[in-house]
Amino acid sequence: MKFARVVGNLVASQKVKGLEGVKMLMVQPLNAQRQPDGEIYVAADATNQAGMGELVFVIASKEAAFALPVSFVPVDASIVGIVDDVDDRPLYDADSVAWKVFVGAKG
pLDDT, one tens digit per residue, over 42-66 is 999 999 999 999 999 999 999 999 9
CATH code of residue 47:
2.40.50.220
**CA end-to-end span of the chain:** 43
pLDDT digits (tens, 9 = 90+) for 86-106: 887 766 666 655 555 555 555
Question: Is the Cβ–Cβ distance between 78 and 51 less than 8 Å?
Answer: no
Beta bridge partners of 5: 28, 55
Instruction: Place 24 in a pLDDT band, splitting at 50, 70 and 90.
Output: very high
Domain holding 22, by residue range, is: 2-103
What does the DSSP 8-state code read for residue 36? B
Number of domains in the chain: 1
H or E element: which one contains 99?
Answer: helix 97-103
pLDDT digits (tens, 9 = 90+) for 27-43: 999 998 899 999 999 99
The model carries a pTM of 0.81
